[in-house]
Amino acid sequence: MNLLIHPGDELPIYRQIMRQITEALAVGRLRPGEKLPSHRDLAEELVIAPLTVKKAYDELELLRFIETQRGRGTFVCLKQPKIKMSAQREQIDAAARNLLSLAYLVGLDLDDVVATLKKAESELTHDVRGPVRKTSV
């Protein structure tokens, strides 16, 4: 499912899974109604404990990002919850400061940074409308 897990990362593994799934939702790599692999299959794919994947799924289900339909599997909810802006806003501000200081260090100016952001945006949307849509059933 296009997830990458790093045990030495700052977050515990179940939080890494949660974050990557919500990120995939945010950029449209995962769509409402789409079926997720079973927690056992994903555990084998990522080589992590099945219970860890189950914990991530359970937490995402509590937050109403995904739902388990008995006997059918786990699906992305049709109606996605709004992520609380206040918590995310701080992270976005911090990321913006990081990006700017990195850019200034190598001698880029604000216009270059804006151009970089636009390029990243077009790449993201291309990913969504291009190959991903073709392969999804």
Partner 1 sequence: MSGILEFDNIVRAYVKAKPVLNGVSFSVAEGEVVGLLGRNGTGKTTLIQITMGLLFPQSGTVRVFGLSPATDPVAIKKRIGYVAEDQVLPGASSIAELVSFHKYLFPRWDDELERRILDRFRLSPKDKIMRLSKGQARAIALLCAVCHRPELLILDEPAAGLDPAARREFLEVAIQFLNREGATILFSSHYMNDVERIGGRAVILDEGKVRLDSSLDSLREDYCVALVPIEAAPNPETLTHITGCLRARSVSRDWHVLFHGNPDDVQKLLAQSVGINGIRCDRMTLEELFVELTGNEQAQVLS
> For residues 94 and 89, what is the distance between their CA atoms, to the nearest angstrom?
9
Cα-trace Rg, the chain: 17
Least gap, CB of 21 to partner 1 (angstroms) = 17
Nearer to partner 1, 3 or 30 (CB): 3
Instruction: Supply the minimum distance, in Å, between the C-beta of residue 38 and partner 1.
Output: 9
Give the Å distances, CA to CA, from 79 to 27, 33, 136.
16, 9, 20
Nearer to partner 1, 13 or 30 (CB): 13
Q: Which is nearer to partner 1, 13 or 60 (CB)?
A: 13
In whole angstroms, the minimum distance from the beta carbon of 95 to partner 1 comes to 19
Positions that interact with partner 1 (CB under 8 A): 5, 7-14, 40, 43-44, 47-52, 55
* CA-closest candidate to residue 7, choices 61, 55, 49, 59: 49
Q: Which of 53, 61, 62, 64 is nearest to 17 (CA)?
A: 53
Decide whether 26 or 51 has the Cβ nearer to partner 1.
51
